[in-house]
Amino acid sequence: MPMKIIATIAEMQKASADERALGKRIALVPTMGYLHDGHVSLIKKAKDHADIVIASIFVNPTQFGPNEDFERYPRDFTRDHSLLEGAGCDYIFYPGIKEMYAGANRTEIKIDYLTRNFEGTLRPGHFNGVALVVSKLFNATLPHLAIFGQKDYQQTLVIKQMVRDLNFGIELIISATYREADGLAMSSRNVYLSPSERLKANIIFNALEKAKKAILSGERQRKIINATMHSVLRSVPEIRIDYASSALADSLDEPDIFLAGDELVLLLAVYLGRTRLIDNTLVRAPLSSASAEDKFVEEYI
């Protein structure tokens, strides 16, 4: 069937209900538009897991702070439409702000614990806005599953917790970060980078890879792992670091020393010029790299 564009919640709910009545499995891919190949990969993954794919395009004002880039966030619906049609998307849910936030909007969803550090600290209220809009998108599109990219790692943990705590009954699939040839994570905000900044932007991926290599070589001290990323990033004078940190992947806890077998996430957020970029990678501390102290404990205690 030809791809359909739907702008109202009521019409979207009816379309999804009709598809469900036919026994169709529905996948949602939430986006803020200005799509790139990473988004296209999410649509294709959704096609592998569902009969019907809905892509939402909505630049959500409640997740932007007062000094952030809501007004200048890149938008190009004609281009987005072409990419989604080419990827085999079935519906575009394209509501306006008044449609999504009609009335007084006195309801808030607050996510605790997972928002206590990193983006949650630097962007107060950001994850409340994310949780609210994602819940509204779930209710508007009625999907069986939703697909998110790993690049927004802390966001994926927040959404997982919300889905679990509020009993949404929606399967979540987290897709690996889609990267440029030099390792830079694909992002709609990459368009802000000047040509000279773009040439230097792969330092972000390099910092993650060097810290990952250190962990795989046996490093378990959080401060040393973090310092490894900072050292690489500071080789580019235009970089300003918000954070470059290691944490436990499931909780974002930051122990002084990680244990063998721990799954870690390396998270960073930096400004390159005026553009804020985030990235992450997952790595498991190897079981075979026990320190002398660990061996003493194993042998004598």
Lay out the sheet containing 275-284: strands in order across: 239-248, 263-272, 275-284
39 given a catalytic annotation? yes
Residues 15 and 141 reside in one and the same domain = yes
Residues 25 and 111 reside in one and the same domain = yes
Cβ atoms 32, 38 nearer than 8 A: no
CATH number at residue 99: 3.40.50.620
Predicted confidence (pLDDT) per residue in 104-121, tens digit: 778 999 999 999 999 999
Q: What is the pLDDT of residue 103?
A: 79
Q: What is the pLDDT of residue 152?
A: 97
Q: Is residue 130 classed exposed, middle or buried when 0-12, 13-18 and 19+ CB atoms within 10 A define those classes?
A: buried
Euclidean distance between CA atoms 290 and 282, whole angstroms: 20
Residues 166 and 28 reside in one and the same domain = yes
**What average pLDDT does the chain have?**
94
Residues 160 and 12 reside in one and the same domain = yes
Euclidean distance between CA atoms 234 and 150, whole angstroms: 25
Phi, psi torsion values for 219, nearest 5 degrees: -70, 130
CATH number at residue 251: 3.30.1300.10
Residues 221 and 94 reside in one and the same domain = no
Structural domain includes residue 246: yes
Task: Return the bridge partners of 29, or none.
Answer: 55
Strands 263-272 and 239-248: antiparallel
Task: Show the tokens assigned to 110.
Answer: 């607050």
Count the neighbouring beta carbons within 10 Å of the beta carbon of residue 199: 11
Residues 96 and 143 reside in one and the same domain = yes
Which of the residues in the chain have pLDDT under 50?
290-301
Residues 145 and 99 reside in one and the same domain = yes
Euclidean distance between CA atoms 81 and 72, whole angstroms: 20
Cβ atoms 168, 138 nearer than 8 A: yes
Structural domain includes residue 183: no
Phi, psi torsion values for 114, nearest 5 degrees: -65, -15
Closest CA to 61 of 92, 105, 97, 112: 97
Task: Show the tokens assigned to 100.
Answer: 């999504």
Q: What is the pLDDT of residue 293?
A: 42
Predicted confidence (pLDDT) per residue in 237-248, tens digit: 999 999 999 999
Q: What's the chain's length in residues?
A: 301
Q: How many domains does the chain have?
A: 2
Q: What is the pLDDT of residue 268?
A: 98
Residues 171 and 195 reside in one and the same domain = no
> Of residues 36, 39, 81, 126, which has the active-site annotation?
39
Structural domain includes residue 182: no
Q: State pTM to two decimals.
A: 0.93
Predicted confidence (pLDDT) per residue in 155-201, tens digit: 999 999 999 999 999 999 999 999 999 999 999 999 999 999 999 99
Residues 14 and 161 reside in one and the same domain = yes
Euclidean distance between CA atoms 63 and 226, whole angstroms: 28
Residues 161 and 207 reside in one and the same domain = no
DSSP code at position 175: E
Residues 106 and 158 reside in one and the same domain = yes
Residues 211 and 159 reside in one and the same domain = no
The residue segments making up the domain with residue 229 are 191-284
Structural domain includes residue 299: no
